[in-house]
């Protein structure tokens, strides 16, 4: 029996070492394969790392970064943006559990350099979590427990200093955006979706400075990323098309977790994603295959993570909101893109559709007025305004039926240019018997 107990103890010890080697393996794989010496010494467990923390008596290095947690419970502090780097700091399971840390938290504290057996520096102490006392952050609510409501506070896009900016003025009338909106910008190629996104981002920054803006570009051209960074003051997070698909998914997941942490603290966050189609394609390549393939060659399991991303948008009863405006590609000639759009079509509560025919006629913004709308728009308009907007829609719908989709949009843009703001334009519609202006 004594020998049996000893063998069980040895077995337990080997399991502990196995757990430690897995933890170290995660640390090594996080950046690039480690050197041979590091690989030979993987038998040590996480407790030895804690001992090294206690024995080390050098000068601590101040560090700030975003926490990226792994499934095993430990994490890495991303110190250079959202992507892994060699200077990322290891955060132990013990630290994560003691302070109730979550993926996307911004941590400030002190670290020590990596010793000969380690790949990354290690976190010694955590002074602040999201700029606040670590103990106070343990009591914050979980995002999933917050109560979602319909958006009831409008994010006004129309700017007094840009009366000729028709894009923001038309969106305000046809498909208004509220705090907590889950919106799809549906666009064929070359219909001006990037310009529409930039206009929305600039307008939100100008009119709603209290909002935390994040622009997420997935699988995008590098020059588009540079242009967006120079156009927008908010946070621009990007993964270009020359990067692997698992990098696209990693960046997107960390970005949405960061947004959730801000909402838990009662902040209003707007995430503009370009685009949900490319993100779904990236998950299709990166996710493990389930063996069940839908038409278009997309795996059934690949659509769950992007749906979870898009579904995070909500207006929160307890305070704060997460607005997500995502672009979806249509008319690309790809069956996969069509399937992805069909899956997401009913999930949003606002849809802005761009019209290829209007774009070909060089009518910008090429918005399909009839197909664009917001659910429960009565919560975002005053009662008198709502009646005037409905009257405008009836007129435009009649014109589109008679002369084609571009005719109503063309007339709308011409009439709106004669008024400095939407309020005066709607007042004129109220007076007119049947035709705007």
User: For 323-351, how does the pLDDT look when each residue is reduced to its tens digit (9 = 90+)?
Assistant: 999 999 999 999 999 999 999 998 999 99
Check pLDDT > 60 for residue 14.
no
pLDDT range class, residue 23, cuts 50, 70, 90: very low
Q: Can you list the positions of beta strands (E) in 103-211? A: 106-112, 122-129, 148-149, 182-187
Q: How far apart are CA 25 and CA 46, in angstroms?
A: 11
Average pLDDT rounded to a whole number, residues 218-224: 95
Helix (DSSP H) and strand (DSSP E) numbers for the chain: 16, 14
Closest to 194 measured CA to CA, from 351, 365, 323, 30: 365
**Residue 58: per-residue pLDDT:** 78
pLDDT range class, residue 2, cuts 50, 70, 90: very low
Q: How far apart are CA 127 and CA 386, in angstroms?
A: 50
Average pLDDT rounded to a whole number, residues 33-52: 50
Residue with tokens 């979806």: 328
Angle at 242 between CA 240 and CA 248, to 5 degrees: 50
pLDDT range class, residue 48, cuts 50, 70, 90: low
**Residue 390: per-residue pLDDT:** 95
- With a pLDDT cut of 70, the percent of the chain lying above it is 86
Average pLDDT rounded to a whole number, residues 183-190: 95
Check pLDDT > 90 for residue 434.
no
Which token pair is 16? 């502990």
Peptide bond into 30 cis (omega under 30): no
Average pLDDT rounded to a whole number, residues 119-148: 93
**Residue 47: per-residue pLDDT:** 54
Number of C-beta neighbours around residue 232 at 10 A: 19
pLDDT range class, residue 42, cuts 50, 70, 90: very low
- CA distances for 67 relative to 86, 92, 96, 129, 281, angstroms: 15, 11, 10, 10, 26
Peptide bond into 365 cis (omega under 30): yes
Q: How far apart are CA 417 and CA 16, in angstroms?
A: 72
Check pLDDT > 80 for residue 409.
yes
For the stretch 151-170, pLDDT in tens is 999 999 999 999 999 999 99
**Residue 51: per-residue pLDDT:** 55
**Residue 223: per-residue pLDDT:** 97
Closest to 43 measured CA to CA, from 72, 5, 14, 68: 14
Average pLDDT rounded to a whole number, residues 172-176: 96
Average pLDDT rounded to a whole number, residues 350-369: 93
**Residue 259: per-residue pLDDT:** 97
For the stretch 289-331, pLDDT in tens is 888 888 889 998 899 999 999 999 999 999 999 999 999 999 9
**Residue 404: per-residue pLDDT:** 72
């Amino acid at each position: 029996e004594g020998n049996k107990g000893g063998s069980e103890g040895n077995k337990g010890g080997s399991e502990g070492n196995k757990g430690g080697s897995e933890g170290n393996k995660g640390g090594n794989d996080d950046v690039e394969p480690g050197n041979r010496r590091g690989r030979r010494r993987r038998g040590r467990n996480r407790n030895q790392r804690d001992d090294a923390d206690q024995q080390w008596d050098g000068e601590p290095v101040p560090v700030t970064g975003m926490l990226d947690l792994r499934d095993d419970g430990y994490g890495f502090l991303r110190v250079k943006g959202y992507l892994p780097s060699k200077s990322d700091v290891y955060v132990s399971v013990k630290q994560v559990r003691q302070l109730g840390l979550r993926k996307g938290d911004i941590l400030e504290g002190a670290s020590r350099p990596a010793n000969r057996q380690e790949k990354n520096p290690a976190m010694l102490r955590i002074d602040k979590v999201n700029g606040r006392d670590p103990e106070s952050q343990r009591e914050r609510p979980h995002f999933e427990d917050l109560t979602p409501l319909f958006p009831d506070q409008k994010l006004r896009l129309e700017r007094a200093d840009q009366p000729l900016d028709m894009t923001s003025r038309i969106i305000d009338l046809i498909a208004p955006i509220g705090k907590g909106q889950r919106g799809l910008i549906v666009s064929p190629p070359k219909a001006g979706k990037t310009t529409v996104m930039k206009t929305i981002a600039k307008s939100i920054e100008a009119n709603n400075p209290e909002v935390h803006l994040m622009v997420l570009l997935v699988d995008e051209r590098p020059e588009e990323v540079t242009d967006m960074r120079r156009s927008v003051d908010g946070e621009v997070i990007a993964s270009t098309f020359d990067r692997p698909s698992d990098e696209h998914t990693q960046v997107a997941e960390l970005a949405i977790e960061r947004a959730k942490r801000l909402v838990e603290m009662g902040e209003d966050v707007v995430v503009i994603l370009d685009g949900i189609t490319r993100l779904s394609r990236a998950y299709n390549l990166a996710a493990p295959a389930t063996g069940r393939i839908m038409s278009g060659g997309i795996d059934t399991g690949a659509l769950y993570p992007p749906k979870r991303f898009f579904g995070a948008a909500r207006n929160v009863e307890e305070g704060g909101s997460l607005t997500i405006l995502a672009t979806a590609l249509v008319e690309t000639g790809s069956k996969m893109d069509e399937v992805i759009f069909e899956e997401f079509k009913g999930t949003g509560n606002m849809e802005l559709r761009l019209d290829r025919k209007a774009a070909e006629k060089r009518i910008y913004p090429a918005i399909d007025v009839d197909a664009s709308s917001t659910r429960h728009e009565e919560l975002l308009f005053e009662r008198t305004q709502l009646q005037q907007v409905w009257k405008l829609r009836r007129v435009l719908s009649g014109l589109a039926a008679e002369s084609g989709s571009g005719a109503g949009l063309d007339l709308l843009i011409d009439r709106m240019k004669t008024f400095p703001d939407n309020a005066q334009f709607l007042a004129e519609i109220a007076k007119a018997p049947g035709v705007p202006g």
